[in-house]
């Protein structure tokens, strides 16, 4: 790949569970766009005029994530570093989360077992939104397969000569809006939803995350669109908008975790975890993954 290679140090306040990030991102890695290779997460990226590859590893002894940028980068460097920090939730001091959740009889033991878990973010809000729509009412594995098909069908090669690693850029909103998605593996209504949302973003007819976008405005705009319901919006808000209290309460794993404690009132039960319900959700999902429970969404029918 033509360009420059430079490594940057991203600091954080411990703890941080790097193995959790690798497992979480690895299970959802879009083929051709991102991958987990041993102790490294690597992906392609496009920002401004820059095109290339990002590689993340954890420093063996210090509280640092090492980011290697392989690309010709100019004025985009600081924006790349800011996105990288958001992706791995590096700005938060987890002591505030532990103070709220640590004494809870349901979340406390999970937190004690995995104190360094943070909310996995996303490099691209649009890419995550596509993932979230694709993931409505299907397994993590099925959604990952479909994401790979979308990327290979509509994505732009970063370097046609590259071998053995991610080589496609995830497609732009315009490419998804206008692309051929027949027989991609999704119901036709969900394809329509995806392309309708992508077109609205490409045409800038709805607000979408860019810098200091208003979280409330973005959520309201998405929720007003056909085929987008509360689960999709809350999951997106948690990972892309960094809303710490986002709560995708219709999620099957979350409902199963809370139903025995307050039958029929799982959302009310989660109120004990404000303002960090999103962190509680991630701990519950992690626990479910370790217990091999089904990882499916359980959105209301109007989201299908």
Catalytic residues: 251
Closest CA to 3 of 60, 67, 53, 75: 53
Closest CA to 136 of 302, 263, 6: 302
Q: Are 167 and 32 in contact (CB under 8 A)?
A: yes
């Amino acid at each position: 790949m033509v360009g420059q290679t430079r490594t940057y140090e991203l600091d954080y306040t411990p703890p941080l569970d790097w193995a959790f990030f690798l497992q979480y991102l690895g299970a959802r890695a879009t083929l051709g766009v991102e991958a987990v290779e041993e102790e490294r997460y690597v992906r392609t990226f496009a920002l401004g005029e820059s095109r290339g590859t990002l590689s993340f590893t954890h420093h063996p002894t210090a509280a640092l994530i090492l980011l290697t940028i392989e690309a010709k980068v100019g004025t985009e460097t600081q924006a790349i570093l800011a996105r990288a920090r958001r992706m791995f939730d590096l700005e938060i001091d987890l002591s505030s989360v532990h103070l709220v959740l640590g004494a809870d009889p349901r979340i406390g033991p999970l937190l004690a077992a995995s104190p360094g878990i943070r909310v996995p973010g996303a490099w691209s809000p649009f890419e995550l939104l596509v993932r979230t729509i694709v993931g409505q009412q299907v397994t993590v594995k099925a959604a990952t397969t479909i994401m790979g098909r979308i990327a290979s069908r509509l994505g732009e090669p970063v370097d046609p000569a590259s071998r053995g690693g991610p080589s496609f850029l995830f497609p732009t909103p315009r490419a998804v809006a206008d692309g051929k998605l027949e027989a991609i593996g999704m119901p036709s209504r969900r394809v329509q939803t995806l392309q309708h949302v992508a077109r609205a973003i490409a045409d800038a007819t709805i607000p979408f995350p860019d810098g200091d976008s208003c979280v409330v405005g973005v959520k309201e705009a998405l929720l007003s669109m056909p085929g987008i319901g509360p689960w999709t919006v809350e999951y997106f808000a948690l990972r892309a908008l960094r809303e710490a209290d986002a709560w995708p309460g219709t999620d099957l794993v979350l409902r199963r975790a809370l139903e025995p404690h307050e039958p029929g009132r799982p959302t009310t039960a989660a109120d004990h975890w404000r303002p960090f319900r999103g962190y509680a959700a991630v701990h519950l999902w992690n626990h479910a993954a370790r217990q091999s429970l089904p990882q499916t969404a359980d959105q209301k029918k109007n989201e299908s």
